[in-house]
Structure 1
Amino acid sequence: MTVSYWNGRVLSLAEWFLLPEDNSRHFELVNGVVVATAKPGWDHQRALVRLCAQLDRELPSELEGVPSVEVMIRDRAHATVRAPDVVVVPTSLLNNDPSHIHARDVVLAVEVLSPGTARTDRVTKFAEYAEAGIPNYWIIDTESPLSMSAYRLVDGEYELDAEDSAAMTLTTPAPLTIDLPALLASRRR
């Protein structure tokens, strides 16, 4: 994907899916417009990898956590395609090797805050994911003190389910415990 290819114009969903792969930035489609942000930093990536490992150990076999997949939030005119840091979806869905996932299939979306995306994650995506019906949304802030806010969709709006900077025991999307300090701790040898 190069700037000259899309050059700020509104893209259809079909045009979005035809764009060539480009790993130089993080890309999303918002109301038909391609939005590019800088690649996340080390703490973000470390937390992301370790969260995926914890989810892999904790989730039941019928659910799976996957990083950075495209989720169709709105697929009509002026489509929105987001790429949450992690989504949890039914394993059966992934067995079909989808090119993208619809929001209706996501049971949990997770965003790890970055300086350039914190407002989007806390405000815009918070509203978009709720409107799309994603039942659980977690926001992880790697700034000291490391913390996580877990939200659950109730009557179309997110309500805070839990918030902590230590280990969090949650019941949705499945019973699990997330060790937050381990997301950034130095590796033990």
Structure 2
Amino acid sequence: MTALPDWMHPPRPEGWLAEDLDHLPQAPRHTELIDGALVFMMSPQRSWHSRLTTALTAALMEQAPEGFEAERGMTIRLDARNRPEPDLLVTTVPYEPDRTWFAPEEVRLVIEVVSPESAHRDRTVKLRKYAEAGIPHYWCVEEENGAPVVHVYELDRPTSAYAPAGIFRQELRRTVPFSLGLDLDGLLP
């Protein structure tokens, strides 16, 4: 068995902390921190996932009113031991070129496009963690016969848990976090 490179060993006995991610240039792209453990996105990304994420980003950027920004490849520092990287997020923070993460109170919507390797984390772990952090809206996008299906959740503040707000096929219309309409079938060729 090959020894792990030095950078893969946690810097402290209790594991990794959120700020450690900014000091791991050797880590694979899209490394996130869940409960103090590094999670690497090592499996190849499917074209369906990549194209859908790109199309969703473009559609949200086009429809977002002033004061909202869509970001890809950015982490959210939920707490000292959790810094997940959603596929897409919508924030109310103006563009800052040197930013590497967002705080939960700066995020209005998180979107995860489910892949086989991330399905459990996206459907359960992240669903719970984003809600507990107070992020108001969560979309989990699944593939159904090649088409996107969006499971929409809204935060129930008294319980700090998400409540289902609908399952959308073909078309998605929402008034929160801002007014938008998506032709889901038109997102992919």
TM bucket, shorter chain:
0.7 to 0.9
Q: Distance in 2 between matches of 1:106 and 1:39?
A: 28
**Paired residue for 1:89, among 88, 91, 103?**
91
Distance 1:161 1:33, change over 3 A: same
Q: Distance in 2 between matches of 1:8 and 1:127?
A: 27
1:30 aligns with 2:34: yes
Which position in structure 1 is the counterpart of 2:166?
162
Aligned amino acid, residue 26 of structure 1 = H
1:53-68 equivalences in 2 (<5 Å)? 53-68=58-73
Which position in structure 2 is the counterpart of 1:11?
16
- CA displacement, residues 39-58 of structure 1 (integer Å, 9 cap, x when unaligned): 42110000000001110111
Q: Distance in 2 between matches of 1:95 and 1:14?
A: 18
Which range moved further: 160-169 or 40-49?
Answer: 160-169
Q: Distance in 2 between matches of 1:128 and 1:157?
A: 9
Which position in structure 2 is the counterpart of 1:120?
121
Between the aligned residues of both structures, percent identity stands at 28
Q: Secondary structure of 1:142's partner?
A: strand
- CA displacement, residues 86-143 of structure 1 (integer Å, 9 cap, x when unaligned): 0000142x24742211112100000000011111100000000000000000011123
Aligned amino acid, residue 71 of structure 2 = V
Q: Secondary structure of 2:22's partner?
A: helix
**Which structure has the higher relative contact order (CA within 8 Å, separation 6+)?**
1
Which position in structure 2 is the counterpart of 1:138?
139
Which range moved further: 41-50 or 4-13?
Answer: 4-13
Query: How large is the RMSD of aligned CA atoms in angstroms?
Result: 1.9
Is 1:152–1:158's contact at 8 Å kept on the other side of the alignment?
yes
Q: Distance in 2 between matches of 1:15 and 1:22?
A: 11
**Paired residue for 1:48, among 28, 49, 53?**
53
Q: Secondary structure of 1:74's partner?
A: coil
Instruction: Please list every run of at least 4 consecutive aligned residues from structure 1 whose deviation after the TM superposition is greater than 4 angstroms.
Output: none
Stretches of structure 2 lacking an aligned partner (at least 5 in a row): none
Q: Distance in 1 between matches of 2:104 and 2:78?
A: 5
Which position in structure 1 is the counterpart of 2:179?
175
Is 1:113–1:139's contact at 8 Å kept on the other side of the alignment?
yes
Distance 1:67 1:177, change over 3 A: same
Paired residues, number? 179
Q: Secondary structure of 1:173's partner?
A: coil
Which position in structure 1 is the counterpart of 2:82?
80
Is 1:61–1:91's contact at 8 Å kept on the other side of the alignment?
no
Is 1:50–1:182's contact at 8 Å kept on the other side of the alignment?
no
